Amino acid sequence: MNQAETLEKMMARTPSAAAQGLAVYDSLGTNMSQPRVICVTSGKGGVGKTNVTSNLAYSLVKSGKKVLILDADLNLANVDVLLGLTPKFNLQHVFSGEKTLPEILVKGPGGLRILPGSSGILELADLTESQKLYFLSEMESLGRKIDILLIDTAAGINNNVVYFNLASQERIVLLTPEPTSLTDAYALIKVLSGQYGVKRFRVLVNLAYSEKEALSVFKKLSVVADRFLSTLSLDFLGYIPYDDKLPKAVRGQRLVADLYPDSKSSQMFVKLAKRLLREEPEVQTDGNIKFFWQELMHFDRQ
């Protein structure tokens, strides 16, 4: 089966009404529902994905959620560098059987967890059936311990980025007021929507000076999208202002939300986290963590 056929098959699957929205815990504190899986992505590089993912994750943790970040930029260990962490192991060690999933998790600020990705994610499809089943069952038990999986992807429209976007239940497209960022975001949305049938996107504008500016950026994107991609749904999630405290925190390998909780961007990350928690996932799908990995396993790498 070629890649297009595989993806077509995936999109055609009838979703079951998996428990979504609010997590349900049993008496031992185990999450009985499956976590939300949210992918943070962008057309253009350097627009702030890693910072947004990590600070948003931190703010969600502060709101009482159990959050795991998957560092899925397979070229660079993004989140690790941002947080000054040096994980010894990554997913590759789980695939090879050297480590269990819980053994490779890294602790971040405030109790945030990080799952170090590896280019080995692309080798998921090559695992034997029993290796796949073992990995999925490990993922499922990990899924019961978290509420939200946030995925920090690489930029652009390569296969990995497409896969992570398709396998996720929700996606946040990040862009900035720069015209090139707008055209690249549109190009990404066009591919995901036109070729792969993804219909809903949340849009977050980073590095805006005001809500007004962010809204005008969003409007420009929706006008083009409406004209060419008629069945698309774009939601304005909000914006993160330009904040000089953010690069300052980055230089110290700390999160701005942790180091400068009162700064403009940190306050916005808190707002954003609250908004995400208020809003139900856009679609009722099998968008749980096991589904996510199963989907990745089904992709043909070409």
Ligand X SMILES: Nc1ncnc2c1ncn2[C@@H]1O[C@H](COP(=O)(O)OP(=O)(O)OP(=O)(O)O)[C@@H](O)[C@H]1O
Interface ranges with Mg ion (CB under 5 A): 49-50, 78
Instruction: Report if residue 84 touches ligand X, rule: CB under 6 A.
Output: no
Contacts of residue 70, defined as CB under 8 A and 6 or more positions apart, other chains included, come to 115, 117, 149, 150, 151, 152
Report the residue number, 36 or 49, with the smaller CB distance to Mg ion.
Answer: 49
17 contacts 30 by C-beta, under 8 angstroms: no
Amino acid at 68: L
Q: Look at residues 165, 182, 171 and name the one whose alpha carbon lies nearest to residue 47.
A: 182
Give the nearer residue to ligand X in terms of CB position, either 60 or 240.
240
| 250 interface partner picked from ligand X, Mg ion, none, CB below 5 to 8 A per type | ligand X
Using rule CB under 6 A, residue 250 touches ligand X: yes
Cα separation, 18 vs 28, in Å, equals 21
Query: Residue 34 binds which entry of Mg ion, ligand X, none, with Cβ cut-offs from 5 to 8 Å by kind?
Result: none
Stretch of residues binding ligand X (CB under 6 A), selected from 49-57, 91-99, 116-124, 196-204: 49-57
For residue 5, give every residue at least 6 positions away whose Cβ sits within 8 Å of its Cβ, in sequence order, or none.
none
Taking the complex as a whole, how short is the minimal distance between the CB of residue 245 and ligand X, in angstroms? 8
Residue nearest Mg ion (C-beta atom): 50
Of 118, 165, 265, 266, the residue at the interface with ligand X (CB under 6 A) is: 265
Q: What ranges in the chain are assigned the alpha helix state H?
A: 3-12, 49-62, 78-83, 91-95, 101-104, 129-143, 159-167, 179-190, 211-228, 245-251, 256-259, 264-278, 289-298
Shortest CB 272 distance to ligand X, Å: 12
- The interface region with ligand X, picked from 56-64, 187-195, 214-222, 237-245 by CB under 6 A, is 237-245
For ligand X, the binding residues in 170-229 under the rule CB under 6 A are 206-207
Q: What are phi and psi of 193, to 5 degrees?
A: -85, -50
Q: What are 209's two structure tokens?
A: 């000076």
Query: Which stretches of the chain bind ligand X, using CB under 6 A?
Result: 42, 45-51, 73, 78, 155, 206-207, 240, 242-243, 246-247, 250, 265
